[in-house]
A and B are shown apart, each in its own frame.
Chain A
Amino acid sequence: GENVEQHPSTLSVQEGDSAVIKCTYSDSASNYFPWYKQELGKRPQLIIDIRSNVGEKKDQRIAVTLNKTAKHFSLHITETQPEDSAVYFCAARPPGFQKLVFGTGTRLLVSP
């Protein structure tokens, strides 16, 4: 079945710097890749997603890139702010299923 690996597990940056989180997936037919942000003690919330027929998507300071050949996708956050501090999860949807397979999460800490 699908397997998603996520790196790094923790990431510390200074406010204003960029942050990049990378995920790889195993099933080349997976077709949907969302990113969720989970603040401490709160529910995961979708921040951006990308479909397999698109290479890049941007939403203000957040962007996601997808390389289907290499089977990896990345989250890019520019001009980081302290409120970006949270755990970020990537996920992939394998073909023929509705479930999401999640990575193990990246704890991002943005220091003022």
Chain B
Amino acid sequence: GAGVSQSPSNKVTEKGKDVELRCDPISGHTALYWYRQRLGQGLEFLIYFQGNSAPDKSGLPSDRFSAERTGESVSTLTIQRTQQEDSAVYLCASSLLVAPPYNEQFFGPGTRLTVL
């Protein structure tokens, strides 16, 4: 079946502009995660959605970052007034949420964001 998809695959923007990144999780996966991966670094948790529960926003680095998810489908990550330090690959993952906490997270291909 189809895996997690993300769009765009690459985004180049100018400092100060807003950007919106999209994630389509695997159908039926109730949990959705966003991570950030800076060049040569590990994955840094940003936000987690699970059904209608309040999202875990504990990883968002500043109030310029926000994310939304409609039900158990698409999610968008928005970065306002982008800065050069926002340049990174933004990865989305989804998982089933059965017998927690042992749920494999399936990753999308990522969106490479470059802020000039």
Using a CB–CB cutoff of 8 Å, the interface residues on chain A facing chain B are 6, 31-32, 34, 36, 42-46, 49, 51, 89, 91, 93, 97-105
Contact = CB atoms under 8 A, between A and B. Distances in A.
A100 B100 CA distance: 13
B44 interface: yes
Most buried by A among B100, B101, B110: B101
Q: Is the interface of A mostly helix, strand, loop or mixed?
A: strand
A104 B44 CA distance: 9
A1 to B, nearest CB: 8
A98 B48 contact: yes
Q: Is the interface of B mostly helix, strand, loop or mixed?
A: loop
A31 B99 CA distance: 13
Interface in B30-71: 31, 33, 35, 40-45, 48, 50, 56, 58-59
B4 to A, nearest CB: 8
Contacts, number: 62
Contact of B107 (A6, A32, A43, A105): A43
Nearest to B112: A41
A32 B101 contact: yes
A99 B100 contact: no
B107 A98 contact: no
Contacts of A44: 43, 91, 107
B41 A32 contact: no
A6 B50 CA distance: 29
B91 A43 contact: yes
A102 B101 contact: no
A45 B108 CA distance: 10
B102 A101 contact: no
